[in-house]
Amino acid sequence: MSLFGLKFGKKKLKEEERQLQANNRDFNLQFEYANNSIKTSKYNFFTFLPLNLFEQFQRIANAYFLFLLILQNRHKSDKHVNNRPVQVLINGMLKDEKWMNVQVGDIIKLENNNFVTADLLLLSSSEPHSLTYIETAELDGETNLKVKQALTVTAELGEDLQKLTEFNGAVKCEAPNNKLDKFTGTLTLQGEKYALDNEKMLLRGCTIRNTEWCFGLVIYAGPDTKLMQNSGKTTFKRTSIDRLMNVLVLVIFAFLALMCLILAIGNGIWEYDKGCYFQVYLPWAEGVNSASYSGFLMFWSYVIILNTVVPISLYVSVEIIRLGNSFYIDWDRKMYYPLNDTPAQARTTTLNEELGQIKYIFSDKTGTLTQNIMCFNKCSINGKSYGDVYDMSGQRIEINENTEKVDFSYNQLADPKFAFYDHSLVEAVKLSDVPTHRFFRLLSLCHTVMPEEKKEGNLVYQAQSPDEGALVTAARNFGFVFRARTPETITVVEMGETKIYKLLAILDFNNVRKRMSVIVRSPEGDLTLYCKGADTILYELLHSSCDSLKEETTEHLNEFAGEGLRTLVVAYKNLDEDYFQDWIRRHHEASTALEGREDKLSELYEEIEKDLMLLGATAIEDKLQDGVPQTIETLAKANIKIWVLTGDKQETAMNIGYSCNLLNDDMEDVFIIEGSTSDDVLNELRNARKKMKPDSFLDSDEINIQFQKSSKNPNVIPDEQANGVYGLVITGHSLAYALEGNLELELVRTACMCKVVICCRVTPLQKAQVVELVKKYKKAVTLAIGDGANDVSMIKTAHIGVGISGQEGMQAVLSSDFSFAQFRYLQRLLLVHGRWSYIRMCKFLKYFFYKNFAFTLVHFWYGFFSGFSAQTVYDEWFITLYNLVYTSLPVLGMSLFDQDVDDRWSMLFPQLYVPGQQNLYFNKMVFVKCMLQGIYSSLILFFIPYGAMYNTMRSDGKAIADYQSFALMAQTCLLIVVSVQIGLDTSYWTVVNQFFIWGSLSVYFAITFTMYSDGMYLIFTASFPFVGTARNTLSQPNVWLAIFLSITLCVLPVVGFRFLKAQLKPTPSDKVLLKIKEAKKRPPPPSPKRRLRRTSTRRSGYAFSHQHGFGALIMSGRNMRPKSPFATTGTFSPNSDKHKHKGL
């Protein structure tokens, strides 16, 4: 039974298999499948209080803040999603329903650009053969289109509501799971069974594209969908300082108990030995009949008096500091992105200081590092490179927003968003340069792009990969417009003249061939094979006459690759008619063979793709977000390791790794882990580790010793240093083996020795598992950053989750702790806000503990001189106001405004970030030092005033050696000492700091003289007994001399220690701060804007797609729509008739 989100009754059994019937809710309800409502918030109305209390009570002594955290604002986003409309087939009619009311077994209708409501079995669609095109960006980060196809038996249902209503197929399938690329089931219809696989499933999180409508049967709903199965669990996040505070509070409680025990024992001894002599005027309290019982009662009295050592008010101050530092992030204009009006946002106020301790960053690629926009950037045609821009003196100039673009206005079919800057290329096209025309003709013909032209001249290309779309768009703008296709023809408008090529064969791309070819017959009857692919593959297929051109093209390829561009070689071959007829006959036989079909086709492809004539090469830029290489370079200097976790394939991920300076040729090696078995993966990981650190296999190795001592795996693996700089790339299939129990330690040891790790083809759940693995075995703070729904699980798993407001919706932002619009803002978030927050929090904690120990332990020493009677040293009003008024604002001022260096120097010297990673500024040892400093100060603050007051006379002969004068002197010394101490701790003085410190001292003296005045005594005699003490005591020179001596003795050791430490044993941070101090004397010139370039001999092979190509689908005609009415007319003329293309 479910009530307001709370589950009662018997525990639900684990689902082993799913059964459902279409259009039969009564049947399906008996299995109690989840409905389509989702929940990503931590709490509901009933669970908020107990769960929030549980979270807060993880901070010991935090019982005062039951309502500190408010309900997270995720209900609003859940409500928005759950209330989206969808058309559901009910009783023969399509009715608008909310997503949350959709149930397993329902048939729903989706239209173009709709989000998929639940995990559906595709039944039928508007496209030929019931194909449906989808975009899976929110699932795997890929924006290229994927195609799904319904079973023939259900495709016949079409959009006939009567037939769909009568459809009563029964489905048996696997239980809900998180495997995005796998689905197994059967459909039983009219006694016949049909196999179901992932190619027939539309998953929640996908978007319908290029398809007018489709119908689907709900298989999994709500939390059972693969998207939600991969989304991870929302966990409570606490900082390392919070966890340390729990330990320290326990230590302080123990210390408090020890002090009270000592004083209680002292009281028992004193009462037994001395107290009997004072019974006349100091009798025991009623009911106390022994010294031991008196000591017992005195224990609890001292618990009350010394309770100020327990940092109760600290928790309030910590939350105020965190809230203030969160506002700084929200208000930072340098993290505001004006293009889409997106400011940075701190979505939590409890994790700020953890931003200053990040050691590992786990980043998505698509939409996070890249803009997911492919641009035709450069090309090489017949030995000439195009794309660079030169000035009048022949010097290459950098392209920016002010560079003049090529004017394509002569081409009415040009894409207005396409930009190119080298005017010489368009001139070559207009002059009918034969190789240039052949080059762009190849780009317009050799692909599997599908065109869509709903209005004349308004062409939209649906490409299987963004690369193909970029190449076809380039050809379109340079005058070779791919306009339409049928299974047998391709229509291209060449320089204003419409030409229809016969498409005879598509030799499709796969991961082994790394190339694709088309064979076409031109209108003039010429047979030509056009081929494009990776240079390493195509170079082996070139005719020997191309050797000199190959050398020139290779130089250009190296230049392109050096700039991180994705390169591709293009070539062609004229075919003999007789040979081709024989080849196409054998091709038909091979394509219809029942056995060895793939091998036979591969042999035929190899046979015809020989002796190719080289045309040139293309260079595509997978546009990075602005500032990504610089950000990565800066973060690397801060000793932060970056792991890229992406759903993209290996080649694409590595290309981006090189583009953004994660990988470079200066590395000793980049290991590729791609084993297909557990043993293969283990061997590859061990071989990599052996190369990086051979000693790690010796019995004397520190970690190996840990293994030998313990039968279980160690909790924390120390950092290991490799003998050079290495990178590691691992595929999702291999990662699945590496994440198994017996291999995970090997993966952690090997990967963490590398500077960069790239995990490709990983599922959302694997991303979270990788993050969890590092959290488990490394004593390090992790951060995950992404922009899509496929990143939500790792964002939730990491210590800090950052969401980017990108093109893939707001799921990542809604699940994140911090959010902004661009990856480059990450360096400011960490190196400025994170480091400042960490330093401020550490300074606050050190000062807070110091002032509390100094304040409280004076009571302890006083106990030895007061018969252990639990008499307080200070006036009760001073005790009340000490933390509340006198010392609260100065420490808050320091904790909100202090900075050792400003933001500019923080970014210029990222090495300043390292101490936070090592937790140097506040740890158990630092706490012990604060404790010892507090004990030392308390000794000074008690014994100097005590000695100064002992048997002392005023200048007029009157005695001032009384309790009130001693108390006033002690508390005045204490307040001035802690004020001087916070002045020493403050690095950045502001008007606010000055006002708080001097204001607090002024308020203290004003209140003291007021409370100790005659008037207050007359009005409130019992409350203000220290009448006249202030003016009598503080008017004596010897009192101020003693105060000065106390201040000097308390502060001098601190100043001396800091000076000697900086001189004799400076930390790396001290050295950097010294450099900055010297640099401030002679401010450096503004750093020149530079474009990071890398030199590389590695050329990136072309990433056609993540799957096998669409060639077979196109040739079959199953995905073809009726011919566009605009496809056969030429609509522009670039020049005069003499510049029109002639048959080549």
Residue 733 DSSP symbol: H
Backbone angles phi, psi at 167, to 5 degrees: -65, 120
Exposure b/e, 984-996, CB count within 10 A at least 16 = b:
ebbeeeeebbeeb
Q: Which of 140, 224, 332, 364 is catalytic?
A: 364
Q: State the Cα angle at 864 between 859 and 867, rounded to 5°.
A: 105
**Separation between Cα atoms, residue 1009 and residue 1018, nearest integer Å:** 14
Q: Which helix (H) or strand (E) holds 671?
A: strand 669-673
φ/ψ (deg, to 5) at 41: -80, 160
Q: Nearest 5°: CA angle at 293, between 290 and 295?
A: 110
Q: Retrieve residue 525's tokens.
A: 């009857």
Q: Report how far residue 756's alpha carbon sits from residue 668's, in angstroms, rounded to the nearest whole number.
A: 12
Among all chains, which residue has been given the structure tokens 């079409």? 158
Question: 782 forms bridges with which residues in the sheet?
Answer: 360
Q: Do residues 55 and 241 lie in contact, with contact meaning Cβ atoms separated by under 8 Å? A: no
Cβ–Cβ < 8 Å for 572, 612: yes
Residue corresponding to tokens 């005027």? 281
Q: What are phi and psi of 96, to 5 degrees?
A: -75, 125
Report the Cα 995 to chain-centroid distance in Å.
40
What SS3 state is found at 865?
coil
| Separation of alpha carbons 714 and 943, rounded Å | 50
* Cα 956 from Cα 336, distance rounded (Å): 68
699 carries an active-site annotation:
no
CA of 295: how far to CAs of 283, 856, 1025, in Å? Answer: 14, 20, 28
- Residue 260, helix vs strand vs coil: helix
Residues 6+ away with beta carbon under 8 Å from 413: 457, 459, 476, 481, 483, 493, 1131, 1132
Tell which phi-psi region holds residue 90, choosing left (phi > 0), alpha (psi between -120 and 50) or beta. Answer: beta
Give 412-419's long-range contacts (Cβ < 8 A, gap of 24+): 412/457, 412/1131, 412/1132, 413/457, 413/459, 413/476, 413/481, 413/483, 413/493, 413/1131, 413/1132, 414/476, 414/477, 415/459, 415/473, 415/476, 415/477, 418/376, 418/473, 418/474, 418/476, 418/477, 419/375
- Do residues 208 and 122 touch, judged by C-beta distance below 8 A? no
Query: Which of 86, 157, 172 lies closest to 123, judged by CA?
Result: 157
Opening angle at CA 27, ends 24 and 29, nearest 5: 105
Write out 755-781 in H/E/C secondary structure: CEEEEECCCHHHHHHHHHHHHHHCCCE
Tokens, residue 362: 């786990």
Which residue type is seen at 26?
D
What Rg, from alpha-carbon coordinates, does the chain have? 38
Q: Find where tokens 């199965």 sit.
A: 229
What order do you get walking across the sheet with 726-731 strand by strand? 345-346, 818-820, 800-804, 781-786, 358-363, 641-645, 756-760, 726-731, 669-673
Helix ranges (DSSP H) in 885-1036: 888-897, 903-908, 914-917, 924-949, 963-985, 991-1011, 1014-1019, 1029-1033
Written as one string, the DSSP assignment of 351-367 is -GGGGGSEEEEEE-STT
Active-site residue numbers?
364
